[in-house]
Amino acid sequence: MSTESTYADQFPTEHEFQSPDPNNPVWGFGGAMLIWVASMLMQIIFPLVFVIPFALHRGLNPASPDFVKGALELAISDPTAIFLQMLSILPSHILTFGLLWAFVTRFGRRPFLASLGLRWHGQMDVWLSVAGGIVLFGAATSLAKLLGAEKPTQMEQIINSSMAARYTIAVLAVFTAPFIEEFIYRGVLYSALQRVIGVSGAVVFVSGLFTAIHVPQYRENFGVIAAVALLSVVLTVVRARLGRLLPCIVIHMAFNGVQALFLVLEPYARRHLPSTEPVVPTISVLLRLTHLIF
pLDDT attached to residue 155: 82
DSSP summary character for residue 120:
-
pLDDT attached to residue 104: 97
Q: Within 10 A of 28 (CB to CB), how many other CB atoms are there?
A: 13
Q: Within 10 A of 64 (CB to CB), how many other CB atoms are there?
A: 10
Q: Is residue 247 part of a domain?
A: yes
pLDDT attached to residue 286: 42
Taking 70 as the threshold, does the pLDDT of residue 275 lie above it? no
Residue 31: helix, strand or coil by DSSP? Answer: helix
Q: What is the dihedral of CA 11, 14, 17, 23, to 10 degrees?
A: -150
Q: Is residue 237 part of a domain?
A: yes
* Percentage of residues of the chain with pLDDT beyond 90: 70
Mean pLDDT over each residue of the chain, to the nearest integer: 86
Phi, psi of 282 (to 5 degrees): -75, 170
Residue 220 or 249, more confident: 249
DSSP string covering 65-101: TTHHHHHHHHHHH-HHHHHHHHHTHHHHHHHHHHHHH
Q: Is residue 83 part of a domain?
A: yes
Long-range CB contacts (within 8 A, 24+) of 74-79: 75/47, 75/51, 78/54, 79/161, 79/162, 79/164, 79/165
Question: Are the CB atoms for 47 and 88 separated by under 8 Å?
Answer: yes
pLDDT attached to residue 270: 75
Count of domains for the chain: 1
Residue 11 or 232, more confident: 232
Q: Is residue 22 part of a domain?
A: no
Mean pLDDT lowest for which of 7-16, 73-82, 118-127, 246-255?
Answer: 7-16
Across 199-223, average pLDDT: 93
Taking 50 as the threshold, does the pLDDT of residue 233 lie above it? yes
| Rounded CA separation 91/87 (Å) | 8
Q: Is residue 171 part of a domain?
A: yes
pLDDT attached to residue 281: 40
| Rounded CA separation 61/71 (Å) | 10
Please indicate, yes or no, whether the overall pTM of this predicted structure exceeds 0.95. Answer: no
Taking 70 as the threshold, does the pLDDT of residue 218 lie above it? yes
DSSP summary character for residue 273:
S
| Domain housing 134 | 27-293
Q: How confident is the model at residue 4 (pLDDT cuts 50, 70, 90)?
A: very low
Neighbouring residues of 125: CB distance < 8 A, sequence distance ≥ 6: 246, 247
Taking 70 as the threshold, does the pLDDT of residue 54 lie above it? yes
Q: Is residue 1 part of a domain?
A: no
| Rounded CA separation 192/189 (Å) | 6
Q: Residue 147: which of 222, 259, 209, 78 has the closest Cα?
A: 222
Question: Are the CB atoms for 158 and 86 separated by under 8 Å?
Answer: yes
Q: Is residue 6 part of a domain?
A: no
Taking 60 as the threshold, does the pLDDT of residue 9 lie above it? no
| Rounded CA separation 147/145 (Å) | 6
Question: Are the CB atoms for 22 and 191 separated by under 8 Å?
Answer: yes
| Rounded CA separation 142/150 (Å) | 13
Q: How confident is the model at residue 231 (pLDDT cuts 50, 70, 90)?
A: very high
Q: Is residue 3 part of a domain?
A: no
What pLDDT, in 10s, does the model give residues 133-178? 999 999 999 999 898 767 777 788 888 899 999 999 999 999 999 9
